[in-house]
Each structure stands twice: as structure tokens, then as C-alpha cells.
Structure 1
């Protein structure tokens, strides 16, 4: 069965050579050709290809086109074709809905093999770029806002006492504040952490502080 592909790239000479390379063995067919994000979205809607192969830096932005095609569900799979080895571009492309990120330095035979895998439902990112993408995603996860970061210094001090297994009275003595004041702060702390009780608040705190 022939794999149907649409291709969007704004460099005509490169694009023509690419079409020839893709179709050389007869197992893949380029059914639509465009040079911009708008044209790519329209081609996907018209042909419902197995794979939409998009240039990252074409007019209108390839990632924008990928997101629109993915949202519309008009292509079986989406692959980016680019010279960019920036991990941020890889991450953005995957988040937009692409399952393939192909560098323009690949050989014709490699490209055909990659497109066949992508059409079959596999993902493709070169090992070096995959490592970059993983590092970026890990940094992003660490940078995500945590409710515990909203605690004031006083609230954090009280929570440290709770995590240490101390009673409100003991915490009050340590911090030189009244027990009822500690109780008041605990109500605020539980609310901020969305914790149901002191034990849950202590567990949230211990996990968060261990990750620092």
C-alpha cells in the first residue's frame, strides 16, 4: 500500500529534489505540495494524507501548521523537516502534535525509512535531539509553580514544625507565638496546599523539600 504524503517547504529547488527522493522507490507518493503554513493546512484538509511533512521555518511557521493540522485531525501523522537542532524547537514541534522531527541532512533512503515508520505510528527524533528535548522537559517540570512556594516564611517555619511531628503548642513555644496563632496559620497552610489534614500537609512538604 502506497503511503500518501503532503509536503510543505518554501524552497522550490530543495522541494523538487525532495519529491523525487521520496517517490524514488514507489512506496511513497507526494499527493500535495505547498510552500507555507496556510497551504499545508489546506492540503491536509484536501488530501487527508498519511503523513504531513512540514518545513519548520516556512512562512507562517511549520509548528503553527502542525498544531492546526493536529487539531483538525486531517493527517495520519505529522513530521517536521528542518535544519534546526535546537532542543526547544523539537519540544515545541512535539507539543504541537508532530511525531517526527527529521533533520535535512538525512539521506534519501533514511528519509523514506523514517517516513514509513512515522506513517506506521512510530515516533522519530534523533538520539541527540531526544536527549536535548528530555532535558528541556525536565527543566520545565521543575520550573512549574508549586503551591508550597506560596507559603510565607512564618507559614514555612510552622510547616517545618508539623513535618517534624511537633504539636501546635510545641511549635508556638519554638516560634514564640500563641498556640491559637499557630492554629490560625495551619488553616491557611492547609488551604494553600489543598491538604486535608496535618499529616497530608507534612507529606507534601517533605516531598517538595526533598526535590529542592
Structure 2
């Protein structure tokens, strides 16, 4: 049986970089479904093609972080990986909280990209080696009230999970937070994916550190 191809959308406002990345991905057996120069175009391409991975520049016009949040929320079957020049801690952790499964630097050898994206789809995090120690340190020094697992979630996702954990139903959570029930379920799906669990009870246990 032929393995499912690794389909990718590339989003970066630098055409030359997109071309280099595309060449490397296609040489590694990936299928590039489209290229975008802005965050809005990236979201539209993901909605149109449903790639397995969206490779996003954090600083492209329209805000790469905003695109990461929208894609992670609206298209949870598409893994988001940031490809950026920024080594700032704030950008790194904001990307992970926005739903990104990886954070790679633009000085990464393009030939390594296909393997990194394949690893993401196997459930591995794709992180630039220079940044791994920062993630470990952040988790070690997380604020007492915010566990390492919780730090991966957005504030809205935490609100949803805290209300569900208190015994409220999906409809009650939606009413309290002025959301639709569909949006609540999308948030829950995003939490399960980020925490790598299959049900709400398991997510509650992870968030409680049990």
C-alpha cells in the first residue's frame, strides 16, 4: 500500500525562500499544495486544500501567529509548524500556545525539512536544537498555577477545560463564554491534540499533573 503523501502549504512573504523550501520538500517526497505570502492567504489555502502540514513564517504580513491560531482551531487535522528567523522566547512560546507543533529557524538545512515534518505527523515536536533547552527550562520554571501542559494552551482553551472539569455541559460552557457549542467542541479537540490524549478525562488528568 502506498503511504499517504505528506502534503504541505508554505506561507512566507519572501518568494525566494518559498522556492527553496518548496524545492527541498518536493525533493524529499512531499507534495506542496500551494504557497501564500500573507497570513490570510495561508488560512484560505489550508481551508481550500486541507494539507497535513502548514509551514508558516511568524512575521509575514497579517501575523503568522494569528494564522497559526486560526488554522489550529478551525482545521485541527492540519499540523502547524513555524519557520522563522526569530529566536525570541516570546515568539517561541506564543507559537506553541497558538497550536504550533514545531518551531524551526530559517537557517535550518532545507534538506532536513521533510524529515522534520514527517516527525511532526508521528507526534514528535519539531524544534530547532538551539531552542530545546529553553522549552525544557520554561516547563521546569512554569508558574505554580500554570502547569507545563497548561502552558501549551490558549487562555480560552483553559477556560473551556476548567468549566468542563467543574461539571458544566458543553451547552452551559457555550452560554457562559458566549460561544457556539461548535466552537466549544473545536477548542476541546485542539486541547486533546495539543496534550496528545484521546478524551476529556485524560486531558483533565494531564492538566492536573496526575
1:9 to 6, 9, 12: 12
Alignment of 1:21-100 (within 5 A): 21-25=24-28, 27-73=29-75, 75-100=77-102
* SS in structure 2 of the partner of residue 118 of structure 1: helix
Q: Could you say which structure has the larger radius of gyration?
A: 1
TM-score (norm 2): 0.63
* SS in structure 2 of the partner of residue 31 of structure 1: strand
With a CA cutoff of 8 Å and minimum separation of 6, indicate the structure with the bigger relative contact order: 2
| Structure 2 residues without counterparts, runs of 5 or longer | 147-210
How far does the alpha carbon of each residue in 1:60-93 deviate from its partner, in whole angstroms, 9 at most, with x for none?
Answer: 1111100000110254211000111112211100
Query: Does 2:128 align with 1:123?
Result: no
Size of the alignment, in residue pairs? Answer: 143
| Structure 1 residues without counterparts, runs of 5 or longer | 145-212
What's the RMSD between the two structures over aligned residues? 1.8
* SS in structure 2 of the partner of residue 105 of structure 1: coil
TM-score (norm 1): 0.62
Say if 2:20 and 2:110, in contact at 8 Å, map to a contact too: no
Say if 1:4 and 1:28, in contact at 8 Å, map to a contact too: yes
* SS in structure 2 of the partner of residue 40 of structure 1: helix
